[in-house]
Amino acid sequence: MSWITNGPLITVQVMSGLSVGMLLFLVSVGMSLIFGVTRIVNLAHGCFYMVGAYLMVTLVEIFPDQPWAFWLALLLAPLGVAILGGVIEMGLLRLIYHRDPLMQLILTFGLILVIGTLVLLAWGPDNKSVSRPDALAGSVKIFGQPFPSYYVLVLALAPMVAVALWLVFYRTRWGMLVRAATVDREMLGALGVNVAALYTQVFMFGSWLAGFGGALAAPTVAVALGMDGDVLTTAFVVVVIGGLGSFAGSFIGALLVGLLQSFGILVFPAISIVLLFALMAVVLIVRPWGLLGRPEP
């Protein structure tokens, strides 16, 4: 337990935990947002994250040796995912909003198979990697401990997204409509709001967030088939802890899970995943609908 007294190591560990948590937040807040408005639990949400990362692989390679290629790719990859989300929402989900929630779950489960195979066909079975932009390839010293510069970007960017999200939800008319839709969709429609269009926008926005998370995470992980399942599980743990449909809940849940993973690896390397599960189990016993969620109607 010598790490307990090692202040610099703990600081770095906290920071890397927060970075992981921030990436998780991007994915889980999108999942939570989509659920809050459409009442669909999008099991294909992890696929959007995966597609974001794979698009990043391809887009970065279009302009090799250009310092701005990475940033352009980071801008375009999530947009591509948002378009994919829009096509899925308008082509499929729109037809089943009135149906048994179970059928909706099964449909998004089916999408996992379809998207997973299409990614396999498009990018092949081998793992890919995205190199970090030159300016962020190294590491910075934090109290004498090395810390990857790229994680500094993640730490800086993700809270900006979080603040921007808060402003969008609580300070714009569109955000007000989204929040109204989570409370009473029928009433919103009766008041003359085009709810169908709102659903599409929300779904595309949620997909964009997952795609952005995937694109931003791409240089920190192996871009591989199966990353959709991993992130789906973790994002799911986040929203269960924080409460499905709760914006702040996703934030708190993501930071908790990120920190837990970061310290779990330090303290119990082999069973860090079990810690995650234990935290979720405790939350489920005490508050089955999550820390900041609402009880299921």
Partner 1 sequence: MAPARWLGLLIVVLAVAPLVLPPFFLQLLTEIAIVGLFATAFNLLMGFGGMVSFGHAAYFALGAYTAALLVKRAGVPLLLALPASPIVAAAGALLFGFFIVRLSHTYFAMLSLAFAQIVFTVIFKWKALTGGDDGLLDVWPPSMLKSPAAYYYFTLAIVGLSILALRAIVDSPFGYALKAVRENPRRARYIGIDVRRHQLAAFVISGAFSGVAGGLFAFYNGSVFPDFAYFTKSFEPLVVALLGGVQSFFGPLAGAFGFKLLEWMISRQWPVYWPLFLGTIVVLVIVLLPSGFVGLVGGRRWPARPASKA
CA separation for the pair 242, 292 (Å, rounded): 6
> Among 139, 145, 149, 233, which residue interacts with partner 1 (rule: CB under 8 A)?
233
Query: Based on CB atoms, which residue is closest to partner 1, 1 or 285?
Result: 285
What b/e string do you get for 202-232 counting C-beta neighbours within 10 Å, with b at 16 or more? bbbbbbbbbbbbbbbbbbbbebbbebbeebb
Site for partner 1 in 13-42 (CB under 8 A): 41
In the bound state with partner 1, the residue whose beta carbon lies nearer, of 86 and 175, is 86
Instruction: Say whether residue 122 binds partner 1 (CB under 8 A).
Output: no
Least distance from C-beta 91 to partner 1, angstroms? 9
Neighbours of 102 (CB within 10 A): 8
Q: Compute how many residues bind partner 1; rule: CB under 8 A.
A: 43
Dist CA 159 CA 229 (whole Å): 25
Those residues with Cβ within 8 angstroms of residue 290's Cβ, 6 or more apart along the chain or in another chain? 239, 240, 241, 242, 243, 244, 246, 249, 253, 283
The Cβ-side half-sphere exposure at 199, using a 13 Å CA radius, reads: 22
d(CA 206, CA 168): 13
Residue 199 neighbours by CB distance under 10 Å: 21
Asked whether position 284 contacts partner 1 by CB under 8 A, the answer is: yes
Biggest CA–CA distance in the chain, Å, is 63
Q: Which stretch binds partner 1 (CB under 8 A): 164-172, 204-212, 228-236, 260-268?
A: 228-236
Least CB distance to partner 1 at residue 36 (A): 13
Phi, psi of 66 (to 5 degrees): -95, 125
> Could you tell me the CA-to-CA distances from 8 to 12, 146, 237 in Å, in that order?
6, 10, 29
Residue from 61, 71, 87, 117 that binds partner 1 (CB under 8 A)?
A: 117
By beta-carbon proximity to partner 1, the closer residue of 211 and 243 is 243
According to the binding rule CB under 8 A, does residue 120 interact with partner 1? yes
Cβ closer to partner 1: 9 or 105? 105
Of 9 and 224, the one with the shorter C-beta distance to partner 1 is 224
By CB under 8 A, residue 96 contacts partner 1:
yes
The residue within the footprint of partner 1, chosen from 232, 255, 260, 292 (CB under 8 A), is: 232
Residues within the interface to partner 1 (CB under 8 A) = 41, 43, 92, 95-96, 99-103, 105-107, 109-114, 116-118, 120-121, 229-230, 232-233, 236-237, 240, 244, 270, 273-274, 276-277, 280-281, 284-285, 288, 296
